[in-house]
Amino acid sequence: MAKIKMKFVCTECGTESPKWLGKCPGCGSWNSMVEERETVIKTQGVGLSSVQMKEKPKSIIHIESEQEPRIETRMKELNRVLGGGVVPGSLILVGGDPGIGKSTLLLQTSHALASKGLKVLYISGEESVRQTRMRADRLGALTESLFVLCETNMENINEAIETIQPDFLVIDSIQTVFDPNVQSAPGSVAQVRECTAHFMRIAKIKGIATVLVGHVTKEGAIAGPRLLEHMVDCVLYFEGERHHTYRLLRAVKNRFGSTNEVGIFEMSEDGLREVDNPSELFLSERPLGVSGSTVVASMEGTRPMLVELQALVATTHFPSPRRMSAGLDHHRMALIIAVLEKRIGLFLQTQDAYVNAAGGVKLDEPAVDLAVAVSLASSFKDAPTRPYDVIFGEVGLTGEVRAVSRAEQRVKEAEKLGFKRVIMPEKSLKGWKPPAGIDIIGVNTVAEALSAALE
């Protein structure tokens, strides 16, 4: 007989406790401890013990170096985020808000791989095979090598994998899959952890590239224990605003590539379309000759993007002025306002200040500081900037403009889109030659940048 005992597990971080607690001692969340029944049973299935071999430790210089082969997905944006393509035997976790387009992205990816002759098994625990076929008809993702199964039982999924022997496996979603040997409800911490470990063993032993779809909590993190993100090889977040058509695919963990890359897609009626030039997308509706509007050159990984920044400074009728930002760090904005008051002499203590990154994009690098400062000063003085200026640079507390990385790529992107002038840190001009078709103004202080931009 198996031994049964009760325990309480936190749904946020997976911390276990023999008794119920109102506050989790691991992550500090309230009312997150749920009761689970733990059963110890010897299971038979795919395990590492059956293929383990005794090996002696080797010197690292005597270990052969092999380049991991990659499978290109015909989607350049996805290949960029993954580091060049899908690595066979890798385990990828994809998270995102409900309805953001996770299933659409993976079905299009499955179709692209199946069109190359690979066997793809798409297992959906949330939609029937008819619903998946309707989605495939809309996306045009009909291929003979793409197999679809509606199943949530781990044992039946194992049989399907043994029968099909796929090269690429999609589980949509991991919260719906359950192991009958684990006495917990589907979606519980124990089930998610055990099922993920099972798929990890399948991916590593059989060399099947596996993608798991994970639900997210209201805070935006992937639901389930934090252990999941440590077990998988790659964690991708599919982000986007419901009121905008574009979507961002961002890697927060990648054992086979960089975590700084971002893929940009546009949602349409026939699925997700890749955005080759995101700068044109974010600048398509930019007004010209309006105060408070500037264009900043920001970097997303190795890709430069030009984004419009809008600022509005208006007189307040309340004792405490409001400071609001959308797409920018609120604390960084308050710092720049303090620099404008102390170092430049702008009297903003009686002014409400609002800053927005147009298009709903989020900018979190310090290189946007100088553009924010110019936008605020332009709105305060009601003096429009030149419509074909690009501004970037980091602002220090003493009013100096500090150098930023990848200045050459930012300038080339501005020249490619037809901008005439770039205001940037003077210290970032060293080591490269600016293009001949654009004027470069190097500045050392915020005062110099304001005099050049608002002349």
- Residues making up the annotated binding site are 96-103
Plot region of 393 (φ>0 → left; ψ -120 to 50 → alpha; else → beta) = left
Q: Is 380 helix (H, G, I), strand (E, B) or coil?
A: helix
CA dihedral 337, 342, 345, 349 (to 10 degrees): 50
Residue 321, exposed/middle/buried by CB under 10 A (0-12, 13-18, 19+)? middle
The dihedral sign for the CA sequence 232, 254, 166, 111: positive
Task: Kindly state the tokens that stand for 110.
Answer: 């499955």
The dihedral sign for the CA sequence 199, 201, 206, 208: positive
Task: Kindly state the tokens that stand for 303.
Answer: 């890709």
CA 35/CA 66 separation, integer angstroms: 46
* φ/ψ (deg, to 5) at 129: -65, -30
Which parts of 145-269 fold into alpha helices (H)? 154-164, 189-206, 227-231
Amino acid at 155: E
Residues flagged as binding site for ATP: 96-103
CA nearest to 85, candidates 209, 239, 252, 192: 209
CA 20/CA 223 separation, integer angstroms: 20
Q: Which helix (H) or strand (E) holds 96?
A: strand 91-96
CA angle in degrees (0–180, nearest 5) for 89-127-204: 10
Whether the CB-CB separation of 149 and 170 falls below 8 Å is answered with no
CA nearest to 193, candidates 224, 162, 171, 217: 224
Q: Which helix (H) or strand (E) holds 314?
A: strand 303-315
CA dihedral 7, 8, 11, 16 (to 10 degrees): -70
Q: Is 127 helix (H, G, I), strand (E, B) or coil?
A: coil
CA 358/CA 388 separation, integer angstroms: 17
CA nearest to 86, candidates 47, 125, 116: 116
